[in-house]
Chains A and B, each alone.
Chain A
């Protein structure tokens, strides 16, 4: 097995693990971590594509052994993923502070929807 295939399979495994975690783990923190796993898998895959060479510079006849463009994009992607994680963690911390909840499973009942006093009042019969 050559390097690109090995790393590619690793990336795929990470994406799969992360996908499972994001969809099936009830805890919000685990979901956030799972999102980071998927992100790492995608970046690894992008790295493999760079390692494989080719790309823009190869088409121009230069830089045959490796493609620099994905690396620039990976760095941007890392920054974006970092920002996403920090927003999610900040929201989760605030949620835990205000309500003590750390999961998203049991949705709160839809606010003060149908108040109890309606039961005592006769329904307006039109």
Chain B
């Protein structure tokens, strides 16, 4: 109770607002969006008025904290009905525990990105204003509004509009610098995302046609009363799920993600990777856990989990082959999205561990990945490139940035006490507990592969021939470095948060014991044998990777050189694997192939749902 009192006091006045509180996170970004053209980019990125953006972002953080406090201490979901009209005629907003976590997370990450971008998009006093310096702030606010609406909406159509607002703000962020390759990446992203959202809309239409409502709570009531799912609902569920998977870029539908996330300016990449893909994942959670909890048949769960496992293995292996730091991080996102989908096969019998682990992964990955993309941005700014092979000696130039990069990496690997560790422990325990040990194995392999590419990067940073200038082209701002470090530390220290706070996951959801599961997972985390057991495989991987530092060079455009340039056995096998993987990845990212996987997934999901119906 002491903790609760401590939490409530600063927000007492705000939490008294009750449901009305939910309007604030929706209103603030829209106010910012409308005021931005008046204030002009020159003033938004720095200067006295530049504090306006940061003030708005800070207010957003306070509102999100207030919502989280109100939800946690009240132990029930906050609801707000627009205009006082109840569904099915009216539209409801609702914040349960999951929404509160996502609101808070996006407020934190967007604030950090805002601080970072103050310098990135600053207009020098003697220069004329550029397009990016204004548009970035408007799009940032647009993304924020879309995210908050997606987390709070309780109506399938509101959620559609929120998703579209999010996509339309996220796509131009990719092409902010106007180079041809980023324009192509943005167009590719937009078209694939549109395919996803139009199928989502088709699903929503079918839901309306069957049950004459779009409200999630009412739909859940009407669906749970049915003896068997009607065919229209089976089709709707399959369409919506696959549409949202395309927007989440789950393997094998990841064709748009790597070029888009790697090509965007660093603060935009951070937002896209940390938050934007999570919004559509959040809607998948809503669909399967809130709208139709009964329909999550074992087959559906295994399909989704299998795709997740494929993403973890494939994404990590392809990441290992990347020559550019930002592309490596983008493929790492492809892999990390996979962990989120392991929730589904585990949730049936270990819901507490699965959902808590999944939400922890959302938070830990968002913090760590935002930190990594922004750190990569600082490296690229300082060196003028982000080729991993030429990173030698950059630790002298950017010690703090590389420290942050490494700490964020520890969370991705899943070392104590990071959020990644908790995710992995909870999900592995759930997998073992439900007799599905193979998911745990996939996570172990994924962690080792993650370690491999981080060792690969740091091997070059520390041991490669110093080819970077002793002086950076552009020294990063102190605030930029600190904000990156803060995000990385946030991901790393997530496991040390008092377990009672994790109960937020279970608010508005019956029978979840999040704090107990987290406390159990953390209890044994720091024993020597446990620590050693987690660290020695990483050391082996590290030695293997460092042993193959002279990686077989692949001349641009040509076929891979024979593996003879490689000096070690591990290097040879890596080269063989690479020649297999890269064509596979290129093939999967062709439109017709992606389209085919799309349709196959659609049919497989529909068949899987109907087996249980």
Chain B residue with minimal CB distance to A80?
A: B164
Chain A residue with minimal CB distance to B258?
A: A110
Q: From residue A125, how far is it (CB to closest CB) to chain B in Å?
A: 6
Across the interface, which residues of B come within 8 angstroms of A23, CB to CB? 195, 591-592, 594-596, 598-599
Contact among A42, A45, A88 with B190 in the assembled complex (CB-CB below 8 Å): A88
* CB atoms of B175 and A91 under 8 A apart: yes
Query: Hey, what's the 0/1 contact readout for B148-187 against A, CB within 8 Å counting as 1?
Result: 0000000001001100100110011001001111011011
* CB atoms of B171 and A107 under 8 A apart: no
What is the predominant secondary structure among interface residues of chain A facing chain B? helix
Cβ of B521 under 8 Å from chain A: no
* CB atoms of A114 and B184 under 8 A apart: no
28 A-B pairs with CB atoms under 8 Å apart are A22-B595, A23-B592, A24-B591, A24-B595, A35-B191, A35-B198, A39-B198, A42-B205, A49-B208, A49-B209, A56-B88, A73-B208, A84-B164, A87-B171, A87-B190, A88-B190, A91-B190, A94-B175, A94-B178, A98-B180, A104-B188, A109-B557, A112-B385, A113-B556, A114-B387, A123-B565, A124-B392, A124-B550
Q: From residue B466, how far is it (CB to closest CB) to chain A in Å?
A: 10
Chain B residue with minimal CB distance to A45?
A: B205
Across the interface, which residues of A come within 8 angstroms of B198, CB to CB? 35, 38-39, 42
Across the interface, which residues of B come within 8 angstroms of A76, CB to CB? 157, 161
Query: Given the known A-B contacts A105-B590, A113-B556, are A88 and B157 also in contact in the complex, defined by CB atoms under 8 Å?
Result: no
Across the interface, which residues of B come within 8 angstroms of A80, CB to CB? 160-161, 164
Across the interface, which residues of A come within 8 angstroms of B327, CB to CB? 110
* CB atoms of B180 and A42 under 8 A apart: no
* CB atoms of B184 and A56 under 8 A apart: no
* CB atoms of A118 and B191 under 8 A apart: no
* CB atoms of B550 and A108 under 8 A apart: no
* CB atoms of B183 and A91 under 8 A apart: yes
Q: How far is the CA of A46 from the CA of B187 in the complex (A)?
A: 28
* CB atoms of A114 and B591 under 8 A apart: no
Cβ of B546 under 8 Å from chain A: yes
A-B interface contact total, Cβ < 8 Å: 160
Interface bin, chain B: 35 or more
Cβ of A99 under 8 Å from chain B: yes
Q: How far is the CA of A54 from the CA of B210 in the complex (A)?
A: 10
* CB atoms of B324 and A110 under 8 A apart: yes
Query: Hey, what's the 0/1 contact readout for B553-595 against A, CB within 8 Å counting as 1?
Result: 1111100000001010000000000000000001001111011
* CB atoms of B592 and A59 under 8 A apart: no
Contact among B187, B212, B553 with A54 in the assembled complex (CB-CB below 8 Å): B212
Most A CB atoms within 10 A — which of B88, B205, B555, B567? B205
Across the interface, which residues of B come within 8 angstroms of A69, CB to CB? 208
Q: Kindly identify, within residues 77 to 116 of chain A, every residue whose CB is under 8 Å from any CB belonging to chain B.
A: 77, 80, 83-84, 87-88, 91-92, 94-95, 98-99, 101, 104-105, 107-116
* CB atoms of B550 and A49 under 8 A apart: no
Query: Given the known A-B contacts A87-B190, A88-B191, are A98 and B183 also in contact in the complex, defined by CB atoms under 8 Å?
Result: yes
* CB atoms of B183 and A114 under 8 A apart: no
Q: Kindly identify, within residues 52 to 67 of chain A, every residue whose CB is under 8 Å from any CB belonging to chain B.
A: 52, 54-56, 58-59, 67
Contact among B191, B259, B599 with A107 in the assembled complex (CB-CB below 8 Å): B259
Across the interface, which residues of B come within 8 angstroms of A10, CB to CB? none
Q: From residue B457, how far is it (CB to closest CB) to chain A in Å?
A: 15
Cβ of A32 under 8 Å from chain B: yes
Query: Given the known A-B contacts A42-B202, A104-B191, A114-B387, are A56 and B212 also in contact in the complex, defined by CB atoms under 8 Å?
Result: yes
Q: From residue B271, how far is it (CB to closest CB) to chain A in Å?
A: 18
Across the interface, which residues of B come within 8 angstroms of A108, CB to CB? 180-181, 184
Cβ of B299 under 8 Å from chain A: no
Query: Given the known A-B contacts A35-B198, A83-B168, A114-B389, are A88 and B591 also in contact in the complex, defined by CB atoms under 8 Å?
Result: no
Cβ of B307 under 8 Å from chain A: no
Q: How far is the CA of A42 from the CA of B89 in the complex (A)?
A: 22
